[in-house]
C-alpha cells in the first residue's frame, strides 16, 4: 500500500512543489507591524509623529502598564474628516504624499501610511477626531484589524488615538515585552526625543495618574534641549552653529555640544535631528568623535544635541521602516559641516579643568567666541524653522524658504560683528624648530615645579596646576601634526642601521605601512626572515632621544590590530600620538626655570592645550572661589 505524502513546514506535500498564494490582509498588516511596532514606545513614536504632522501645538500621552494595556495620544491638530477615518486605518493610505516624485521631497514625519493599519492589526484601536469646521467629532474602532463603522461622538478639535491591549492577538510578540516600568521608560524617552526637536509644541506624559513629563509650548530650542538633558547641565554646554549653502543642497546646523567632562560611556547622550526628525547617523557620529579627538578618552562619547536642516531632496528618509536611519546625498558635506561647527565651538571655550574636575563655565580662550565665517545667530536660526509655518508642511520650512530666512540673519550678523578679530585669531602656532629646547623665557611669571612632575603657577582665575608630561605631549603632537601636514617629516640617516627583531606578521604589516612611514620620515626594510633594518628616523624624535627600535616595534604591534587602517587620517593621528608621548618630557624630569616658563607659554599658544592627545587633562585650576571655600573665607 502506498504511504501518504508527508506534509512540509509550509503546508505543501513532499511530492508536490510549494504553491504561491496571496497572504491574508490581516497577516500582511501583522508582518508590517513586526517592522513598525516593536513595543509600546514604537506606538507612541508613530502616533506623536502623526500629531506633529497635523500641526498640533499641544500633545498629551497617557500610558497604562507602561503602554502595554493603554497608549492614548491626544492632540489639538487639524483633525481627520469622518469620511477619511476608514482610510486612515487601512493599509498604505495617507494624506502626505500623492505621487512617486513626492518621495524625493518628504517634509513630514510620516509618509508611508502603514502605521495606523499596523498598530490596529495587533491591538484594539479607537480614533476620535474632529476638524475645526465640523459640528462634532467622529469615531472609528478597530479590533485585530477588523474595523467597525464610523459613528458620531463628542469631542474637542483635534485627534485622540486609543491603543489598548497591545499584541493581544499575537501572544508570541507580547511575551517578549519587558516589565511595565521598562516599557514606560522607553515610551518617555521616545517622547523626549521628539520634543527636543519641536520646542514650539507642548508635551505632557502621564502614567497611572502621575505626570512623568510636562513641557510647555513655545520654548526656545536651548531651553527645550536642557529640559530633556537636565537644567543642571546648562553651564556644561557650548552652542555650535554653521551653515553651508554653496549649492542647492546645503546644510544648516545649530546645536549644544557638551564640555569634555560630561562625555559618557555610550553614545546614548547624542541626540541628532534632521528637519525635525530624530535620526541615527554614523557619519555625524564620526564627525563628533573627530571634533573631540584628543579632548576625551577614546572610550568616551561626546554629549550633544544637533539640529540640522537641509533640502528635502538632499536626503532619502525612505530607507528604514522605523525612519531612524536616513541616507544623505552628500555625506562629505555633512561631515565637514558638523566637524567644523563643533570644532569651532570647542576652540572658542576655555576647557581647563577646575578643581571640581570641570572646565570653568562661561570662559573663553580669547575675549569673545570664535564665530565661523558666515555664521548666524543660533537662537534666531532655529526660530526661523519653527514659527509661522503652515500646518500642511508638518511644522518645517521648505528649502527655498529656509535659504530666504537665513540670508537676512546672516547679513545682520555680518554688520553687527566688530571689525577687530578675536584676540586669539591671529595667533600662529609655535615655531616647531624651537619646541624641543623650548622658547626663550617670558619674565615675571611665578612658577614652581612640584615633585619633578607638576608645574604650579597662577592665572587670572586662580591657581593653575599643570602635568608637565601631558602638556608637552600635546605640544609635541601639534608640532608633529603641523609638520606632517606641510610635508614629510624631516629625517636623519643612521650611521649604522638599527635592527628590529620581527615576526612574519610584522613583515606583512611593514609592507602596508610603507606610505605612512614615508610621511613620518622613517626608512625601514626587511633584511631577512626575522629582521627589519631602520635606515632613517625623524630628526625631531632623535633630538628627543626616542629609541628607533622600540618605537618601530611598538608601531608594528599596533598595525596588526583589526581597527588599524594605515591609509586613514585616523591612523596617522594615532601614530603621532605615540610619537608625541615618547618625545615629551617625562614625570620625574627636572626642568629649569626657562623651560618651565616656555612650556607654559606654549600652553597659551596651541589649540586644545587643556588635554593631551589621549584625552587626559593637562591642567587643573583651583579658582579663587574654590580657594576661599577651602579656607572658610566664604
User: Is 163 within a domain?
Assistant: yes
CATH number (domain holding residue 293): 3.30.230.10
Highest mean pLDDT among 258-262, 347-351, 488-492: 488-492
Q: How many angstroms separate the CA atoms of 67 and 45, rounded? A: 12
pLDDT surpasses 50 at 430: no
Is 246 found in the same domain as 152? no
Contact 246, 252 (CB under 8 A): no
Contact 466, 585 (CB under 8 A): no
Q: How many angstroms separate the CA atoms of 207 and 66, rounded? A: 7
CATH number (domain holding residue 205): 3.30.565.10
Is 486 found in the same domain as 571? yes
Is 266 found in the same domain as 170? no
Contact 599, 471 (CB under 8 A): yes
Region of 115 (left: φ > 0; alpha: ψ -120 to 50; beta: rest) is alpha
User: Which of 318, 273, 277, 311 has its CA nearest to residue 113?
Assistant: 318
Region of 158 (left: φ > 0; alpha: ψ -120 to 50; beta: rest) is left
Q: How many angstroms separate the CA atoms of 196 and 18, rounded? A: 51
User: Which of 280, 343, 307 has its CA nearest to residue 222?
Assistant: 307
User: Is 65 within a domain?
Assistant: yes
DSSP-derived letter for residue 314 is: G
Out of 171, 193, 215, a domain closes at 215
**CA distance to 246, 314, 327, 400, per residue, from 249 (Å):** 8, 6, 14, 11
Computed over every residue of the chain, the mean pLDDT equals 81
Is 185 found in the same domain as 54? yes
Predicted local distance difference test score (pLDDT) of residue 175: 87
Out of 161, 186, 215, a domain closes at 215
Contact 348, 370 (CB under 8 A): yes
What are the cell numbers at 280?
A: 541615527
**pLDDT per position as a tens digit, 387-424:** 444 444 443 444 454 445 444 434 444 444 444 443 43
Contact 462, 627 (CB under 8 A): yes
Q: What is the mean pLDDT of residues 6-27?
A: 62
Q: Which residue has the cell 629609541?
A: 547
Q: How many angstroms separate the CA atoms of 475 and 466, rounded? A: 13
Taking every pair of C-alpha atoms in the chain, what is the biggest distance, in angstroms?
A: 111
Show the CA angle centred on residue 289, arms to residues 283 and 294, nearest 5°: 155
User: Is 272 within a domain?
Assistant: yes
Is 120 found in the same domain as 65? yes
User: Is 423 within a domain?
Assistant: no
Q: How many angstroms separate the CA atoms of 33 and 46, rounded? A: 12
Among 28-32, 131-135, 590-594, which stretch is predicted with the lowest mean pLDDT?
28-32
Who has greater pLDDT, 96 or 266? 266
User: Is 633 within a domain?
Assistant: no
Out of 179, 194, 215, a domain closes at 215
Predicted local distance difference test score (pLDDT) of residue 532: 94
Predicted local distance difference test score (pLDDT) of residue 546: 92
User: Which of 84, 110, 115 has its CA nearest to residue 96?
Assistant: 110
What are the cell numbers at 331?
A: 555625506
Is 601 found in the same domain as 452? yes
What is the DSSP secondary-structure string of 530-592? TEEEEEEEEHHHHHTT--HHHHHHHHHHHHTSTT--TTSHHHHHHHHHHHHHHHS--TT----
Is 242 found in the same domain as 184? no
User: Is 199 within a domain?
Assistant: yes
What are the cell numbers at 249?
A: 543642497
What total of structural domains would you count in the chain?
Answer: 3
**pLDDT per position as a tens digit, 311-333:** 877 787 766 666 678 888 888 88
Q: Which residue has the cell 577614546?
A: 298
Sheet arrangement for strand 251-258: 237-244, 251-258, 304-310, 270-274, 277-279
CATH number (domain holding residue 477): 3.30.1370.100
pLDDT surpasses 80 at 218: yes
Torsion of CA 575, 577, 580, 581, to 10 degrees: -110
Q: How many angstroms separate the CA atoms of 324 and 320, rounded? A: 7
Is 113 found in the same domain as 58? yes
Domain that holds residue 301: 221-317+324-416
User: Is 297 within a domain?
Assistant: yes
Q: How many angstroms separate the CA atoms of 390 and 396, rounded? A: 8
Is 205 found in the same domain as 234? no
Query: What end-to-end distance do the CA atoms of the chain give, in Å?
Result: 103
**pLDDT per position as a tens digit, 569-625:** 888 998 999 999 999 999 999 999 889 998 998 888 888 889 999 888 999 999 899
**pLDDT per position as a tens digit, 170-189:** 888 888 899 999 999 999 99
Is 408 found in the same domain as 265? yes
Task: Say if strands 58-64 and 202-207 run parallel, antiparallel, or are unpaired.
Answer: parallel
Q: How many angstroms separate the CA atoms of 624 and 454, rounded? A: 20
Is 399 found in the same domain as 528? no
Is 160 found in the same domain as 138? yes
User: Which of 452, 488, 260, 438 has its CA nearest to residue 357?
Assistant: 260
pTM of the model: 0.69
Q: How many angstroms separate the CA atoms of 245 and 407, rounded? A: 10
User: Is 233 within a domain?
Assistant: yes
Amino acid at each position: 500500500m502506498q504511504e501518504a505524502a508527508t506534509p512540509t513546514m509550509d503546508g505543501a506535500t513532499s511530492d508536490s512543489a510549494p504553491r504561491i498564494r496571496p497572504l491574508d490582509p490581516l497577516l500582511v498588516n501583522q508582518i508590517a507591524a513586526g517592522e513598525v511596532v516593536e513595543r509600546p514606545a514604537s506606538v507612541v513614536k508613530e502616533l506623536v509623529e502623526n500629531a506633529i504632522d497635523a500641526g498640533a501645538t499641544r500633545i498629551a500621552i497617557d500610558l497604562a502598564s507602561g503602554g502595554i494595556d493603554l497608549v492614548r495620544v491626544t492632540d489639538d491638530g487639524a483633525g481627520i474628516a469622518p469620511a477619511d477615518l476608514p482610510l486612515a486605518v487601512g493599509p498604505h493610505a495617507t494624506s502626505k504624499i500623492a505621487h512617486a516624485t513626492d518621495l524625493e521631497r518628504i517634509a513630514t514625519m510620516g509618509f508611508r501610511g502603514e502605521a495606523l493599519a499596523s498598530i490596529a492589526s495587533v491591538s484594539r484601536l479607537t480614533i476620535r477626531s474632529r476638524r475645526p469646521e465640523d459640528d462634532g467629532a467622529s469615531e472609528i474602532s478597530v479590533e485585530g484589524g477588523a474595523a467597525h463603522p464610523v459613528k458620531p461622538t463628542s469631542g474637542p478639535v483635534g485627534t485622540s488615538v486609543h491603543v489598548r491591549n497591545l499584541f493581544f492577538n499575537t501572544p508570541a510578540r507580547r511575551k517578549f515585552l519587558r516589565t511595565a516600568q521598562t516599557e514606560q521608560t522607553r515610551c518617555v524617552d521616545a517622547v523626549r526625543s521628539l520634543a527636543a526637536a519641536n520646542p514650539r509644541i507642548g508635551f505632557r506624559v502621564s502614567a497611572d495618574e502621575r505626570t512623568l513629563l510636562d513641557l510647555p509650548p513655545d520654548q526656545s530650542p536651548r531651553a527645550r534641549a536642557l529640559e530633556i538633558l537636565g537644567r543642571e547641565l546648562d553651564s556644561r554646554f557650548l552652542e555650535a552653529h554653521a551653515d553651508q549653502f554653496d549649492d542647492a543642497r546645503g546644510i544648516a546646523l545649530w546645536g549644544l555640544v557638551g564640555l569634555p567632562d560630561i562625555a559618557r560611556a555610550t553614545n546614548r547622550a547624542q541626540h541628532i535631528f534632521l528637519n525635525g526628525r530624530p535620526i541615527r547617523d554614523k557619519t555625524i557620529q564620526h564627525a563628533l568623535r573627530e571634533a573631540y579627538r584628543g579632548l576625551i578618552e577614546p572610550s568616551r562619547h561626546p554629549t550633544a544635541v544637533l539640529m540640522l536642516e537641509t533640502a528635502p531632496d538632499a536626503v532619502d528618509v525612505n530607507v528604514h521602516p522605523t525612519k531612524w536611519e536616513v541616507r544623505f546625498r552628500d555625506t562629505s558635506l555633512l561631515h565637514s559641516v558638523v566637524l567644523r561647527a563643533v570644532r569651532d565651538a570647542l576652540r572658542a571655550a576655555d576647557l581647563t579643568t577646575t578643581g571640581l574636575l570641570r572646565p570653568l563655565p562661561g570662559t573663553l580662550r580669547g575675549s569673545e567666541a570664535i564665530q565661523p565665517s558666515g555664521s548666524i545667530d543660533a537662537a534666531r536660526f532655529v526660530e526661523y524653522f519653527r514659527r509661522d509655518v503652515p500646518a500642511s508642511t508638518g511644522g518645517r520650512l521648505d528649502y527655498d524658504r529656509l535659504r530666504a530666512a537665513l540670508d537676512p540673519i546672516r547679513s545682520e550678523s555680518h554688520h553687527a560683528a566688530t571689525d577687530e578679530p578675536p584676540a586669539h585669531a591671529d595667533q600662529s602656532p609655535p615655531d616647531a624648530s624651537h619646541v624641543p629646547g623650548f622658547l626663550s623665557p617670558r619674565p615675571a611669571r611665578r612658577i614652581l615645579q612640584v615633585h619633578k612632575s607638576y608645574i604650579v603657577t597662577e592665572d587670572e582665575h586662580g591657581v593653575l596646576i599643570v602635568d608637565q608630561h601631558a602638556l608637552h605631549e600635546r605640544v609635541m603632537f601639534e608640532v608633529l601634526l603641523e609638520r606632517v601636514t606641510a610635508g614629510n617629516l624631516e629625517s636623519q640617516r643612521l650611521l649604522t642601521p638599527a635592527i628590529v627583531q620581527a615576526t612574519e606578521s610584522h613583515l606583512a604589516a611593514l609592507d602596508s605601512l610603507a606610505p605612512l612611514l614615508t610621511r613620518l620620515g622613517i626608512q625601514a626594510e626587511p633584511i631577512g626572515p626575522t629582521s627589519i633594518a631602520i635606515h632613517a628616523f625623524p630628526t625631531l624624535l632623535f633630538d628627543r632621544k626616542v629609541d628607533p627600535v622600540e618605537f618601530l616595534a611598538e608601531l608594528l604591534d599596533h598595525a596588526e590590530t583589526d581597527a588599524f587602517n594605515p591609509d586613514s587620517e585616523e591612523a596617522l593621528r594615532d601614530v603621532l600620538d605615540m610619537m608625541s608621548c615618547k618625545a615629551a618630557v617625562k614625570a620625574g624630569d627636572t626642568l629649569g626655570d626657562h623651560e618651565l616658563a616656555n612650556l607654559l607659554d606654549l600652553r597659551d599658544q596651541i589649540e586644545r592645550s587643556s588635554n593631551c592627545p589621549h584625552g587626559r587633562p593637562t591642567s587643573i585650576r583651583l579658582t579663587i572661589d574654590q580657594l576661599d571655600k577651602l579656607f572658610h573665607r566664604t
